[in-house]
Amino acid sequence: MEEIKVKYFHDDMEELCYVDGKSDWIDLRAAVEVTLKAGEFRLIPLGIAVALPKGYEAHIAPRSSTFKNYGILQTNSVGVVDCSYCGDGDQWHMPVYATRDVTIEKGARICQFRIMENQPKLVFTRVEHLDSPDRGGFGSTGK
């Protein structure tokens, strides 16, 4: 099992943990209270810096209830933090766009993350034809 070192920027931050039996994603919380007006962009501090092991990255995404509860959208849809972002000042943030006026309380669970192994090195080869059957070109339905 890998050990992950986490720096907390506030003494009263809840420590990272799994939600037992529900998911292998880990919730992240707003480190400060943030008030946004509709149409405003902000980087919400998440109150942690993490030293990921070499060869790993973190994927950050909104929780399923984030838009319903707060009316915010993560502006880059999913965030990727690579292992080079590991210093004492490398606090994680969630870039958001507010669709309505909202106050997000300190400690509110607004996003989640998981740690993934980096994609292996791949070689891309140009071909004239692929060897698999054609499914129709878009999504699982082909329409």
Whichever domain contains 70, its CATH number is 2.70.40.10
For residue 138, is it within any domain?
Answer: no
Which positions are annotated as active-site residues?
82
CA 36 to the chain's CA centroid: 20
**Spans in the chain with pLDDT lower than 50:** none
**What's the pLDDT tens digit per position in 62-74?**
999 999 999 999 9
Residue 129 forms part of a structural domain:
no
Task: Determine phi and psi for 125, rounding to 5 degrees.
Answer: -120, 125
User: Which pLDDT does position 143 carry in this prediction?
Assistant: 54
- What are the φ/ψ torsions at residue 70 (nearest 5 degrees)? -125, -15
The confidence score (pLDDT) of residue 84 equals 93
Residue 142's pLDDT is: 53
pTM to 2 decimals?
0.86
What is the span of the domain harbouring residue 48? 5-117
The answer to whether residue 10 is domain-embedded is yes
- φ, ψ (nearest 5 deg) of residue 80: -125, 125
Rounded to whole angstroms, how far apart are CA atoms 19 and 26?
7
Give residue-wise pLDDT tens across range 16-41. Answer: 988 777 788 999 999 999 999 999 99
At residue 139, the pLDDT reads 63
35 pairs with which residues across the strands? Answer: 103
8 Å CB contact between 49 and 86: yes
For the chain, how many structural domains are there in total? 1
Using alpha carbons, list the distances in angstroms from residue 122 to 67, 118, 119, 125.
36, 12, 8, 10
Task: Note the pLDDT of residue 28.
Answer: 97
